[in-house]
Structure 1
């Protein structure tokens, strides 16, 4: 068995891993782990296969043993094979892959790995990817490490809370959020965005220098969370807006849009089933505390 990535593109760290693997033509088998069972309009309850740079959903008739599972579109795929992982991240089945019951997760033969930063670094070291993602130069690499160490409790927290307080609680879970709580959350996000600009971006093309790195990829996938909630993250921030354009161009517009298709439809998610809501609430409250 080759490399397997257990992902849900609703998750910002999963999107970073997905984009990185596809952008660098790393062959992997995609295992979809549905974070919010039944909520996602894309991929849920279907097997899909990665064809070239696109995820193509397949019906059951394409998945019989011995049946040819894909046809090349534009060019033969270098990254293909994606299977649906049957169950949620909280299931006992997924716990056999990751006892922490979180995504992303990586399985490479008998080796398993959790935590998005660890997974990204593992992929940079195992596969021949361009040096700019995680430079060999000591100080350039330290700048990437600095951002990756900072973002967990700052930008990620602010972006996650903005999505849940603005959309997921009131729209998906049917739980009202007070105007005061929402205002405080958005104010916290604004402060964090200013730190991102002042400390890391400054007047550079990318967060750590003249070239895109893992820092930029992780940052942009975080910022698309509040964008999916309707927050005008880049409005009034021309440097940050221009940086986003550079990152999207470096990644490739098609791949960028593919990875963010689900989160950009967050406002359109249907209300959660009561059973799903009951199961999710303890996890959600612990996650965004």
Structure 2
């Protein structure tokens, strides 16, 4: 059970727990913490809460302080990305904490920090401060992280009120050192609040105390001065010079004396490993990567080309992969430079149009015009004029090409940077057009098919998917829909009860096969065809089924390989060793030993050595429908845990470590939908284990 928890297999863990409890097993604190930590990684507070109730019902006495701290950490990771917590979970965390105290649990610092973090991420500074005073009454000694959390609470609430009291009064009174992480947190409060003057004052105080900034300080500075890009560039340069000179002198940043320096810029619980993942900020450093471009009045038709004159390169900016604060500063800075460079840019583009003179004469030629210095939407600030950019013709489109990410992890996958770009450009009076189907290849829109061939989704009834969640291809289709927000009505059909052969379902699908999709006049009865169809008509992110012919061929190759290898071996082995004994029908063990099991093992080795040889996923660097189809097939092998003769799933995966890591990676990538789809499979596994290990009467009950 702890091994499954380490790999994030929540459905298997739930089944294992039921077996463990049914056999009279004792719920040990180490097991409880392992399960809570799993649900924290999977961002599943509901399941963590359900486990808490389950544990309470089977334990004599309360959980340990470490168990409670792990549970509170589950609540603190209640959203994706893990930067904010809905208030209902902060309230629930407070209830659980009170239950623990009422039961006589002596809380430790980790317990109190987890509770404070829930309250801080929910934007409840008063509640976090009350917990801090409770921490002091319990005789616990605060640490720099304690004050990082308190400052985070003010940052999340969007107000700086009370932050000065925490930093200037409470922190010295507690005798805690002002580490770089704490300074970063304090600066971040005013950055979010938009208080430029106060943020600059904190920055100068940092320098006066001899604090050496790090990469996270740079990001907070960028956020603080995003509306004043020229000032941001000046302060950023100053921070880098200080860090460079400090390193040259052999000094270490003061952050090493306390918590990791990255804590303040992201969350108090951030890992120091974040430092390695965040490259240094650059105000003008466009890259060649491009995804889902936002187009301003047409498209440029190509990305930045180093061989072109610098002025024209200003029409291309890649924001993909940078923080929201950095993106705001970069975009404001680029707009300033466009005004300053407009005469040269107009000469390169030619045929400026009747309003070019107004655009060319705006500003003082330094990129620091008065309108650009204030916030874009501030009262009294006229927007910068970019009339020349809006006079292109269809034959010679001229535009600012802004590249953002595809929006994974953002609310409804809409893209945080997309919305930010629209807001900033809109404040300057610029039109912004989204090339929704763009794959990002040089900024040229690449559609999967002729738009006239696509059905008009707005006028069509809701698609209906007939599925059995114990069926591996059905789970693959369901996960694809849930992961990409594809609105389908799922009608459950039980293969085990023979519902797929009923007269009602035969009228829908004479072949009596699942899954089966009905989308208006379109009827599709093959899982691979359904996956490809849904990707095509719903414009899901390109990684699921790429438009590029080469990448698409790779996905198709894996899909074609799957049916004659992995699925064949899995079906023969599972049917004869598990399903046939359950049904009381004869099994063909020689077929399993001579063909089924060797085929399954060879297929797993092929995935390990071929499909995952150089990539994180079976068809490339990102997840695709091929991953879903193969992984759901392998998941089915957990039913072999009920077979009287091995190997079980863990034994099958032992020789293929890349497959094991890939399954865990896929579960995280598609959380929580992937694990949720396996819930019925996990329950079936536990029933099969109980029945095949029981009496004939047990089999009859099943």
- Trace 1:36-185 onto structure 2 (pairs within 5 A): 36-37=496-497, 88-170=499-581, 172-177=582-587, 180-184=590-594, 185=596
How far the C-alpha of 1:20 sits from its partner, in A, is: 0.5
Q: Tell me the matched-pair count.
A: 224
How far the C-alpha of 1:98 sits from its partner, in A, is: 1.2
Q: Name the CA distance, whole Å, in 2 between partners of 1:262 and 1:148.
A: 25
RMSD after superposition: 2.1
Whether the aligned pair in 2 keeps the contact of 1:6 and 1:103 (CA below 8 Å) is yes
What are the Cα deviations for residues 230-269 of structure 1, in whole angstroms up to 9, with x where unaligned? Answer: 22232231111111111111111x3222211222333414
Q: Is 1:243 the counterpart of 2:662 in the alignment?
A: yes
Whether the aligned pair in 1 keeps the contact of 2:544 and 2:625 (CA below 8 Å) is yes
Whether the aligned pair in 1 keeps the contact of 2:569 and 2:598 (CA below 8 Å) is no
Match of 1:53 in 2: none
Q: Name the CA distance, whole Å, in 2 between partners of 1:240 and 1:148.
A: 17
Q: Name the CA distance, whole Å, in 2 between partners of 1:148 and 1:178.
A: 28
How far the C-alpha of 1:135 sits from its partner, in A, is: 1.0
Whether the aligned pair in 2 keeps the contact of 1:167 and 1:266 (CA below 8 Å) is no
Q: Secondary structure, in 3 states, of the residue corresponding to 2:500?
A: coil
Q: Secondary structure, in 3 states, of the residue corresponding to 1:152?
A: helix
What are the Cα deviations for residues 166-200 of structure 1, in whole angstroms up to 9, with x where unaligned? Answer: 21111x21235365444333222111211222332
Match of 2:674 in 1: 256
Instruction: Write 1 or 2 for the structure with the bigger share of helix.
Output: 2
Instruction: Write 1 or 2 for the structure with the bigger share of strand.
Output: 1
Per the alignment, do residues 29 and 273 of structure 1 end up closer, same or farther by CA in structure 2, a change over 3 Å counting?
farther
Whether the aligned pair in 1 keeps the contact of 2:577 and 2:589 (CA below 8 Å) is no
Q: Name the CA distance, whole Å, in 1 between partners of 2:607 and 2:573.
A: 16
How far the C-alpha of 1:227 sits from its partner, in A, is: 2.0
Q: Which one of 580, 595, 601 corresponds to residue 190 of structure 1?
A: 601
Match of 1:29 in 2: 489
Match of 1:4 in 2: 464
Q: Point out which structure has higher relative CO (alpha carbons under 8 A, 6+ apart).
A: 1
How far the C-alpha of 1:163 sits from its partner, in A, is: 1.6
Per the alignment, do residues 125 and 179 of structure 1 end up closer, same or farther by CA in structure 2, a change over 3 Å counting?
closer
Q: Name the CA distance, whole Å, in 2 between partners of 1:255 and 1:246.
A: 13
Per the alignment, do residues 179 and 110 of structure 1 end up closer, same or farther by CA in structure 2, a change over 3 Å counting?
closer
Q: Secondary structure, in 3 states, of the residue corresponding to 2:501?
A: coil
Match of 1:285 in 2: none
Give the TM-score, by structure 2 length.
0.31
Q: Name the CA distance, whole Å, in 1 between partners of 2:463 and 2:589.
A: 45
Q: Secondary structure, in 3 states, of the residue corresponding to 1:30?
A: strand
Match of 2:104 in 1: none
Query: Which runs of no fewer than 5 residues in structure 1 stay unpaired?
Result: 38-86, 277-289
Match of 2:478 in 1: 18
Q: Name the CA distance, whole Å, in 1 between partners of 2:623 and 2:674.
A: 14
Whether the aligned pair in 2 keeps the contact of 1:17 and 1:116 (CA below 8 Å) is yes
